[in-house]
Amino acid sequence: MSIFKYFKMKTIHMYVYHRDTPYVVDLPEPEYAYHIEHNKKGQTTYRIEKEGCTIHESTVYKRLHFLGIINKQGPTIGNCFTHNDYRGHGIYPAMLNLITNKLLVEEQVPEVFVIVDVHNTPSIKGIEKAGFTLYATVKTKRFLFFYLNQEVHYGA
């Protein structure tokens, strides 16, 4: 992997969803057992495995530099993955709901965010099914850790 890829300007077009109320949707608990892993960066990963295969994984980031564009900070659920064989079974919205309720109730954070590419329709459907509402649309260019030419539109 070349280090030069980090020196390219990258266009980013994302939706920022948020939820500030626990239990806004009545989704069943995930039917598979999950486990939680904490790493040294303060990230928490929720993972469902079956017979040695990762079925689903979602990571909670305590802070993301990207949220500074909309003058917000807070836990953000991201880097989510559901195995192809298990997509469409409601695992993603159920896990988003479970994680969000834990953060809002047990950790008493004021709100939880999810950031998703505007073209990722399946994820958007799962996010909305889990009770998240669109907070902002962000279009920007990233160079290293800098966001340039920021366009922000709030609400739907």
Nearest to 34 by CA among 49, 19, 12, 18: 49
pLDDT, position 121: 95
Domain ranges of the chain: 8-154
* Binned average pLDDT, 10 residues per bin, the chain of 156 residues: 72 95 79 87 92 93 92 95 91 94 95 97 95 96 86 88
Please check whether residue 81 is in contact with residue 54, taking contact to mean a CB–CB distance below 8 angstroms: yes
Q: Cα 131–92–103 angle (5° rounding)?
A: 60
pLDDT, position 36: 93
pLDDT, position 102: 94
pLDDT, position 6: 65
pLDDT, position 1: 54
According to DSSP, residue 65 is labeled G
Q: pLDDT tens digits for 73-99? A: 999 999 999 999 999 889 999 999 999
pLDDT, position 8: 84
8-154 architecture in CATH? Answer: 3-Layer(aba) Sandwich (3.40)
